[in-house]
Structure 1
Amino acid sequence: MALVPYVENAVPILSKFHNSSAQFRFANHDISLTQDWKSLGVAAVVWDAAVVMCMYLEMGKVELKKTKAIELGAGTGLVGIVAALMGAEVTITDRQPALEFLAANVKANLPPDSQGSTLVSELSWGEGLDRYPPAGFDLVLGADIIYLEDTFVPLLQTLEHLCSDSTVVLLACKIRYKRDTNFLSMLKKTFAVEEVHYDKQRDIHVYKAWKLSQRKDL
């Protein structure tokens, strides 16, 4: 079932989401992603936050080679795919209904030498976290995952579980509602948070977060 109601061409600005594919070029690779708004809704289209996150990764301000990374709420998988192409060992996660779709996009866009260090895995925030190593990742990535208030507490629980004192969290999002800033306030109770990039054209913010025990220069 779609996560949001599907209405064919209801809003002209959303027409790009009804396309069956979306093309990009990142990390010197052409990437072609299948989209399926009708079946999977928001989980199966490429949102601007994912594009801006990939642009930020290409700026080289975050070390990716041989970095153990995990993407939360991956959707089409664009961010995780780009991180893998740039040398990271990536676990690309989403909820069970989106996994088959996500895995197909990952397989279609990663060369064999990158697929061996990439895992597509189910992760519903706050659930079954023991399947993931505590404090086991160097980098946590999330693009446009801050929008449902009911998910804020389990998302924070998930971040707490995945992050060590040296983990960097990158979140790309559009600030649409007061609840979005409320999440950032909740995050700041246990993480230091700073805005590291803003794409004015797309109105997307990129935030960097790290546990409060960390040094700011990590």
Structure 2
Amino acid sequence: MALVPYVENPLPPLSKLHNSSARFRFVDRDLTLAQDWKKLGVAAVVWDAAVVMCMYLELGKVDLKGKRVIELGAGTGLVGIVAALLGAHVTITDRQPALDFLTANVKANLPPQSQESVVVSELTWGEDLERYPAGGFDLVLGADIVYLEDTFLSLLQTLEHLCSDTTVVLLACKIRYERDTHFLHMLRQQFKAEEVYYEKERDIHVYKAYKLPAKGDL
């Protein structure tokens, strides 16, 4: 979600983030995602959490066919693209500065029949949420969107708005700092959340969450 300044980083593990593109194969298709760290920072590179989220979606443990899906902080759009290829109707969101870049990736990687089921839309967490239907999605996806503590409350507010009692939330993330664990604690105040997948090589966790019923409904 956050757009950060470009900083040259010589560390080999991060060098792939500076490539102009990243290539993957999901849903029997070769996908090429443009990257632009220098212009858009973290919003314009493919992070491991997105790759692992796509791996999890391909396992088929979540029904996507015909489902209403929204991706938060989509960045390059890889997760939303894969969800669409798996048959979902997807709203792929990020902040305004990333939308042109995101739209180009979606158009370049989806066949015409799948493009009809995708909308790219601006969403800054916690702002203008009435533009999106309350509880209007079957599945909410977020890959590596838990890293800025200042955004935790607005992210939770956004999840609360988008989710009905039957909505599934999937969050893929690397637990880097104590604050990331703190977010999971905050999430569990409003959602029932559990880890459903762990990719050891990339050290990525996937959490599934459901909205808790209101106290008056207990």
CA positional deviation for 1:12: 1.9
Root-mean-square deviation over aligned CA pairs:
1.2
Secondary structure of residue in 2 paired with 1:42:
helix
1:179-198 matches, cutoff 5 A: 179-198=179-198
CA positional deviation for 1:166: 0.3
1:212 aligns with 2:212: yes
Letter in 1 for 2:185: S
Q: Distance in 2 between matches of 1:213 and 1:151?
A: 24
CA positional deviation for 1:72: 0.1
Q: Does structure 1 conserve the Cα–Cα contact (< 8 Å) formed by 2:20 and 2:34?
A: yes
Letter in 1 for 2:58: E
Secondary structure of residue in 1 paired with 2:55:
helix
Letter in 2 for 1:84: A
Q: Does structure 1 conserve the Cα–Cα contact (< 8 Å) formed by 2:6 and 2:40?
A: no
1:128-143 matches, cutoff 5 A: 128-143=128-143
Q: Distance in 2 between matches of 1:29 and 1:65?
A: 17
CA positional deviation for 1:10: 2.7
Q: Distance in 2 between matches of 1:133 and 1:172?
A: 24
CA positional deviation for 1:13: 1.4
TM-score (norm. length: structure 2): 0.96
Aligned equivalent of 1:38: 38
Secondary structure of residue in 1 paired with 2:205:
strand
Q: Distance in 2 between matches of 1:3 and 1:132?
A: 23
Deviations for 1:77-110, whole angstroms, at most 9, x for unmatched residues? 0000000000000000000000000000001001
CA positional deviation for 1:11: 1.9
Aligned equivalent of 1:162: 162
CA positional deviation for 1:153: 0.3
CA positional deviation for 1:124: 0.1
Q: Distance in 1 between matches of 2:125 and 2:61?
A: 27
Q: Distance in 2 between matches of 1:183 and 1:206?
A: 14
Deviations for 1:176-199, whole angstroms, at most 9, x for unmatched residues? 000000000000011000000000
- Unaligned ranges ≥5, structure 2: none
Secondary structure of residue in 1 paired with 2:210:
strand
Aligned equivalent of 1:150: 150
Letter in 1 for 2:72: L
1:66-81 matches, cutoff 5 A: 66-81=66-81
Q: Distance in 2 between matches of 1:48 and 1:211?
A: 26
Aligned residues: 213
Secondary structure of residue in 1 paired with 2:154:
helix
Secondary structure of residue in 2 paired with 1:141:
strand
Letter in 2 for 1:29: R
Letter in 1 for 2:38: K
Letter in 1 for 2:43: A
* Identity level (%): 77
Q: Does structure 1 conserve the Cα–Cα contact (< 8 Å) formed by 2:5 and 2:40?
A: no
Aligned equivalent of 1:49: 49
TM-score (norm. length: structure 1): 0.96
CA positional deviation for 1:7: 3.0
Aligned equivalent of 2:85: 85
Letter in 2 for 1:33: L
Secondary structure of residue in 2 paired with 1:157:
helix
Q: Distance in 2 between matches of 1:3 and 1:61?
A: 32
Letter in 1 for 2:199: D
Secondary structure of residue in 1 paired with 2:39:
helix
CA positional deviation for 1:150: 0.4
CA positional deviation for 1:212: 1.7
Aligned equivalent of 1:123: 123
Q: Distance in 2 between matches of 1:86 and 1:76?
A: 18
- Unaligned ranges ≥5, structure 1: none
